[in-house]
Amino acid sequence: MLVLQKRLDLNERCKKGCLHIVLSFPAEDKLTQAELKKISQTYMDHIGLADQPFLVYQHLDTLHPHLHLVTVTVKADGSGNSVFHSRQAAVKDVIKQIEKDYRLTPSRGRMMPAGKLESAQKLQYGKIPATLAISQVLSVVLPNFKYSSLLELNAVLRHYNLVAKTGKPGSKIRFYQGLTYQMLADDGRKIGTSVKASRLSGKPTLRYLHERFKANKLAVLPGQQRIKTLIDLALIAPDTRSLAALGQRLSQQGVKAVYALEATGKLCEVIFVDFRTRSVFSASQLGGRYTPSKLLEHLAESEKSLESAPGIYQNPLLKPSSGMAALQAEPAISSEKQASAPLPDESLLKLLLDPVPQADSLPRELKRRLHKKRKQISLQL
């Protein structure tokens, strides 16, 4: 690395002086380290960089044994080397010659069949060949899910750690309407190399996707009412106070919410993927009530209403009402008056037989009414 760094320091004007090359081999080709060294040296000779210092690393972290070649394009006198860039068209001929000399499996036209699968699993880098793994996922997703745009398709593919790319603006792949697929890590990072759609089984190119977009625009209409109902029920739930809570409640019904963010971090779209009906809906296409701005506005209002709600949900039994207090105080007052009032002139027998009123007792009628009123309050709760 120190040698490569010193070579780069000879030409400070060179902005792209480092070159990274990957040579991948089929798993059935059993090659020794000596053969791999010869192949890497032969490759560098044919592209005109044989005199440049380069490092070769062998990686075995995937099912495809491959080499990483790292070199610089700055010559020993400090001048730039444009031989490689002027002979890119000859690289394919170099690969053919190396495959012929070392009896390797030809890479041109090599395609692995995806096979017919009813379901797909999340992709894991290095477990199975990338081309085969991507083809298997696409063979399940593309013909069975109802999506009407590339954004909606990527919302489904993200569940399987996969993404479809049309290239950056101004790139050749965007100009020629090309399409590539690339695996993703669990955290969303792109991993591995991109695979052209033309190399995959079934040719899932952009032209094929456009035909699917047109057919799915009508096929997805019957499932819109179901997704709207689920969203409405999730929004009126008291614990739905954020987008994360909304997505968690929808996931209980087999719906996954995928949030599309701009480069500034602003929410621009919400995609709802219904795995039970295999339908995909953009929030903006469901109606004005379900646009991202309206959803955020509704969640903000719900949070404010919940903050001011504790006084409404107080238990009325914790504090007796004024009517109840008056009802309990009135008998005590009346009984005191009865005890202090002078007794009329009656016979001794009637005085002994009549019950004596007590200050701490209540008439039976009042007790019955109190019991019914408490029962009514408890039923209201």
Residues 260-295 have pLDDT tens digits of 888 787 888 899 999 989 999 998 888 888 888 888
Supply 314's token pair: 């107080």
Confidence of residue 20 (pLDDT cuts 50, 70, 90): confident
User: Residue 38: is its pLDDT beyond 60?
Assistant: yes
Q: Where in the chain is the domain with CATH 3.30.930.30?
A: 2-101
Give pLDDT tens digits for 71-95: 888 888 888 766 555 455 567 778 8
Give the containing element (helix H, strand E) for 373: helix 364-380
Give per-residue pLDDT as tens, 117-149: 556 778 887 777 788 889 889 999 999 999 999
Q: What is the mean pLDDT of the chain?
A: 75
Rounded to 5°, angle at Cα 226 from 120 and 220 = 60
**Can you give the pLDDT at residue 62?**
67
pLDDT for the residue 149: 92
Q: If DSSP states are collapsed to H, E and C, what string results for 337-360?
A: HHHHCCCCCCCHHHHHHCCCCCCC
User: What's the half-sphere exposure (Cβ side, CA atoms, 13 Å) at 161?
Assistant: 17
Q: Which CATH class is domain 2-101?
A: alpha beta
- Give CA–CA dist 64/185, Å, rounded: 18
- For residue 323, give both structure tokens: 């009517």
Taking the C-alpha atoms of residue 104 and residue 315, their distance in angstroms, rounded to an integer, is 81
**Are 247 and 256 in contact, with CB atoms under 8 Å apart?**
yes
Half-sphere exposure of 107 (CA within 13 A, CB side): 16
